[in-house]
Amino acid sequence: MTQIYNWEKNIDEFELNTVINAIKNDKLAILPTETVYGLAASAFSDKACKKIFEVKGRAQDNPLIVHIANKNMIYDIAEAPNEIEEKLIDSFMPGPFTLILNKKDCICNTVTCFGKTVGIRMPNNKIIHEVIKKSNIPLAAPSANISTRPSGTCIEDIKDEFYNKVDFLIDGGKCNIGIESTVVKVVDNIPVILRPGFITEDDIKKVIGCVKLSDKLLKKIDVNENVESPGMKYKHYSPNTKCYLAKNDINQINKVNDFLFSKNDNCCVVGFTEDKEYINIPDNKFICLGSKNNLEEISSNLFSCLRKIDTLNCDIAIIEGLNEKNLGLSIMNRLIKACDGNII
Ligand code: TXA
Ligand code: MG
């Protein structure tokens, strides 16, 4: 049976101890972070981490990120960072940032899928921080969604998906950032972004002076391709409804309207506040991402909007795209996957 605790206003000490004891005994807890909810287990326990893969239906070669509470925990689980890695840690942790380092043996092989590296993240959220700090256990936690589905940014969106499949659901309210952390690996002294997130290319460049983007961030990738980060190649963020992405350009609104006109299907549109009045769709078929001038707002609403698509029972959803720069790139990375490469 799944226990649901609400710690949005305060963390109940008794419940906190119950969750920590359970984690020590290979149980699973869904916990909030500032990016998305995570499906957490002890990173020391092969048995518990195997359950994460089962519950999510996750590909066996897709490693998990390990969450820590303070800098000392990094040295416990990974080989010493070099100067550039240290600078990234000091600049972006705690925060929506994951750094790939060489792992130590205490991190179980299930977490890393038998690889030599481990993704490390120090979340900036009081609830998961308290659980890690008080237990002194690093937590392996992928995004809390069944594989291929959009990530979960509030308990209401994911409780049905996980009810009776995990031991605890901890409600911490809405995740304010809304998209997952930026995943970075330093290669030949240059930080390479393997997954774009809230910490952008420009943010990293300001601190280190250089940064590279993986060339695979805006592409559909074949599952047999060799990639730096396995998560890149899998279907993700996808509603069950077939989705099309209207790429951002000056004709975007016309393109959406022409597409709507050409289809006999029952369509809905996911778009921006400013464009709503110009798009030929009834109010109840328009899902609002937020203002196109406020990328933080769009990022925070993104996954709930993608989940809402299926509740409208349409045949097709058309999603308005953004300029692919910085946070816009991170959002477009998710949308291209959500649309499975269908672009208009
Ligand atoms: O914001 C986040 O990062 C959230 C919250 C819960 O912390 N977590 C998250 O985990 O998004 P997940 O498992 O959904 O995505 C982790 C991504 C995957 O694309 C995976 O392939 C990549 O990070 N990754 C993990 N460990 C890696 C490693 N050692 N080398 C390369 N990529 C790695
Ligand atoms: Mg995920």
pLDDT of residue 135: 98
Task: Name 322's Cβ contacts closer than 8 Å, sequence gap at least 6.
Answer: 248, 292, 295, 298, 328, 331, 332
Q: Which residues pair with 269 in a beta bridge?
A: 286, 318
Distance 263 CA to ligand 1 centre (A): 37
What does the alpha-carbon distance between residue 276 and residue 222 come to, in Å, rounded to a whole number?
Answer: 35
End-to-end CA, the chain? 45
Closest ligand by atom to 184 CA: 1
Select from 67, 147, 223, 229 the residue to mutate for testing ligand 1; criterion: most ligand atoms less than 8 Å from CB. Answer: 229
pLDDT of residue 226: 83
User: Of all protein residues, whose CA lies closest to atom 33 belonging to ligand 1?
Assistant: 229
Residues with CB under 6 A from ligand 1: 33, 35-36, 38, 62-65, 96, 98, 100, 112, 115, 117-119, 121, 123, 141-143, 180-181, 183, 194-195, 229-231
**257 alpha carbon to ligand 1 midpoint, in Å?**
37
Quick one: which atom of ligand 1 is closest to the CA of 151?
A: 14
The Cβ of residue 339 has, within 10 Å, a number of other Cβ atoms equal to: 23
C-alpha of residue 236 to centroid of ligand 2, in Å: 7
What is the band of 235 on the pLDDT scale with cuts at 50, 70, 90? Answer: confident
Ligand 1 atom closest to the CA of 177, numbered from 1 = 1
Nearest ligand to residue 198 Cα: 1
**279-310: pLDDT as tens digits:** 999 999 999 999 999 999 999 999 999 999 99
- Please report the pLDDT score of residue 98 as a whole number: 98
Quick one: what percent of the chain has pLDDT higher than 90? 91
How does pLDDT run across 39-94, given as a tens digit for each residue? Answer: 999 999 999 999 999 999 999 999 999 999 999 999 999 999 999 999 999 999 99
Report yes or no on whether pTM surpasses 0.85: yes
Mean pLDDT of the residues in the chain: 96
d(CA 211, CA 97): 14
Q: Kindly identify the ligand whose nearest atom is closest to the C-alpha of 60.
A: 1
Length of the chain: 344
Domains by residue range for the chain, with CATH: 3-213 (3.90.870.10), 242-338 (3.40.50.11030)
- Report the nearest atom of ligand 1 relative to the CA of 37: 6
Identify the residue whose C-alpha is closest to ligand 1 atom 3.
181
Q: Is the pLDDT of residue 263 over 90?
A: no
Which residues, including other chains, have CB under 8 Å from residue 251's CB and lie 6 or more apart? none
* Cα 49 to ligand 2 centre (Å): 15
Confidence of residue 206 (pLDDT cuts 50, 70, 90): very high
